[in-house]
Amino acid sequence: MTRTLVLVRHGQSEWNLKNLFTGWKDPDLTEKGVEEARQAGRRLKAAGIHFGTAFTSELSRAQRTLGLIVSELGQMHFPTHRSVALNERDYGELSGLNKDDARARWGEEQVHIWRRSYDVPPPGGESLKDTGARVWPYYIHVILPKVLSGDNVIIAAHGNSLRALVMALEGMTPEDIVAEEIGTGVPIVYRLNADSTVREKEVLS
């Protein structure tokens, strides 16, 4: 029983390219993002991982990334579950703004705090702690039981929802997670012990 869990951040989106805060807004992938997703699928196929279940968010960039990965894998028959619990963090009033414009309006230090701190949310939005508060219960109650039962699981989601999950999986502190970056379209493969702790981690870059 391999108890494999794979995390993949969606490929580059149109708003990533334009340097905009995205959050719960729903832009599509760029051509580069499509290729990143396909490349993720090819890397997972080369690794010989066969999935039993997939999870993704309610946002189309993550759903499309998952679809492209599954197409490359040639594994079309496992169930996919979508949940708002896996959505990107909500950037509130920053959503849709250019990051440079936001720095000009609120100051570079304040925007940096909103983007990278653990528990300071932007106006009307979520902190990473808030994002974790919906990601962690969903993982514990819905996703983890499938992994522990031997179902290899893939999650296609977002930078911050996955950072919250990585924080829990790796036992990171709020200080540790500030510096954690998750690349677009790069599969992170965890193999878990029977007690749900991480036995092995591999980044397929």
Catalytic residues: 10, 88
Distance of CA 115 to the CA centre of its chain: 16
Q: What is the dihedral of CA 72, 150, 11, 163, to 10 degrees?
A: -170
The residues near 71 (Cβ < 8 Å, ≥ 6 apart) are 38, 41
